[in-house]
Chain A
């Protein structure tokens, strides 16, 4: 079956750095997405990785290792507004998005 694993919840301090991991086992791979979702709102796009390596976009970076079935989202200089759920999703061989359960990130002052 298809499976995406990410931690249920993480806590970090304002101004610090946090890394949210995602491992996947899917039938085929056509890219991995990270989305941010605030409570009661729709997800918003953060990043897309299809090749191995690190992609940096401002305070957020996303890393992918296809051979290991592994990705992480790195958030730097954490702000209170970064408190949200972070969803990892993989595009499988049928170009269907397989979603992880999401990681709830709690930022403390």
Chain B
């Protein structure tokens, strides 16, 4: 149980274009999803917390107009990188919490990640 998928697993796009990444909870309803970014040899950096039916909460320094997050259903959150630039190239990982989980109600289940390369 508690499987999270991400699509695409990797994407290459040209500078100035937009890219959408999907995060799905396959066997549970995720009221809260998280979006992380990870640069090579660095730890996870939380970008934003996405709550179903409401606006995402962005971390300090993350441009909400550049990284659009939509959490329209209990099983799907999307991250759109708008007007991508080479410095946006990174590993983007989503995670989700399953509120029905007993002891580990705050454990985050991670998707496999999406590697974005902007040329």
Which A residues contact B (CB, under 8 angstroms)?
A: 30-31, 33, 40-45, 48, 87, 91, 95-97, 99-102
Q: Is the CB of B106 within 8 A of A43?
A: no
**Partner pick for A99 among B46, B91, B106, B112, CB 8 A cutoff:** B46
Q: Is the CB of A100 within 8 A of B110?
A: no
7 contacts between A and B (CB under 8 A): A33-B107, A41-B112, A41-B113, A42-B112, A97-B34, A97-B108, A100-B43
Closest B residue to A4 using CB positions:
B43
Residues facing A in B29-47 (CB within 8 A) are 34, 42-44, 46
Instruction: State which size class the interface on B falls in.
Output: 10 to 19
Is B93 interfacial (CB 8 A cutoff)?
yes
| CA of A31 to CA of B43, assembled, Å | 19
Neighbouring A residues of B44 by C-beta, 8 Å: 43, 87, 99
Closest A residue to B44 using CB positions:
A99
**Partner pick for B106 among A41, A95, A101, CB 8 A cutoff:** A95
Q: Is the CB of B106 within 8 A of A31?
A: yes
| CA of A100 to CA of B106, assembled, Å | 17
Neighbouring B residues of A102 by C-beta, 8 Å: 43
Neighbouring A residues of B113 by C-beta, 8 Å: 40-42
Residues facing A in B69-106 (CB within 8 A) are 91, 93, 103-104, 106
Closest A residue to B57 using CB positions:
A96
Neighbouring A residues of B109 by C-beta, 8 Å: 45
Q: Is the CB of B43 within 8 A of A44?
A: no
Q: Is the CB of A43 within 8 A of B46?
A: no
Known contacts being A42-B93, A99-B43, is A48 close to B104, with CB within 8 Å? yes
- Please list the 4 inter-chain residue pairs (A to B) with the smallest Cβ-Cβ separation, ordered nearest first: A42-B110, A101-B43, A42-B113, A102-B43
| CA of A99 to CA of B91, assembled, Å | 16
